[in-house]
Structure 1
């Protein structure tokens, strides 16, 4: 398998290119993906903040985490974050609604699409949290499995105009993961075990999808 070429860009380069997408007329959907710790959430949030609410809104894939009680019932709670711990069909359905929102005959409040978000403090998804208005030109989404070629993930991908894969140095990615787990209450030893266990298994799967990305980026 041929490794995709990695483009080195500054964050300002990413802002400028995202703004160009938002300014070409009509609705565009831009996705950021990459392994755990790649910086997807941070970069996506920074892009939306840089462009402002008139141009962009963020719709994270994390809002489609299955609830913890569902994961317990399925026997998957100990590997939360794996691709089968998300409502992939629900995410694909939302992307389809966002894709066709401009052409809807609905008006006013009825035309707004509401997306879920993931509450980190609760470790649970919260439905109907993020309003998406039809006049917003750029929808930014981010998540681990935007390029996965199984289940309902391809249906979601078909709605996204471009997917940019973030590929930091492995040492940087691992350090970010450990710090993230520590920030949410794990000891350093527990954080290392999680980063090298469940996170690493997910990372290997996600990194194999980079060949299907429109671009592979490393921020410098």
Structure 2
């Protein structure tokens, strides 16, 4: 019997287009030593394995993997699994991941998570003169590291792309952790368009925390 993988697209635009695909796996289906292999096989920029909570629980525990490595925290998986749990009638206030406890809540169509900037990987930030220059960057420009290419696209609005070859992600469609880093760097709330047209909203809250939010849509499940 195969492993059932639910798939959602995180940080879609308001019409439900784009967004970063996320594989979501009930952790009881896969023993911890096998989770990296499953994430590599699936090939999504991240796959999250969640201990599905009992009804009425306020916390769920999860592990996050790229095709090449485990991450202590990532934005699009935590937003995506928070939405997924709510959609199943099992909303939680907190997602426990290796980096720490991620608070989550829903406002209208947006799912939000709260994290510390230092939970995210370090990104080399490349500020370009305009959005055309961002669009012109080739993924083959980067062989190592984590790179976030961005430009202003209006007041409080940026256009961005992210490349993380060392994590097995040549280019990421929408990156919550990078959104947290750029928000901390610029010290202001942001509306971000990344990749083909995915939409991420960020806001700075008290005591160094940053929230990222966006819309999520269910996609077709797969079996591995």
What TM-score bracket applies, with the shorter chain setting the length? under 0.3
Higher strand share: 2
Higher relative contact order (CA 8 A, sep 6+): 1
User: TM-score, structure 1 length as denominator?
Assistant: 0.26
User: TM-score, structure 2 length as denominator?
Assistant: 0.26
Report the structure number with the largest CA radius of gyration. Answer: 1
Higher helix share: 1
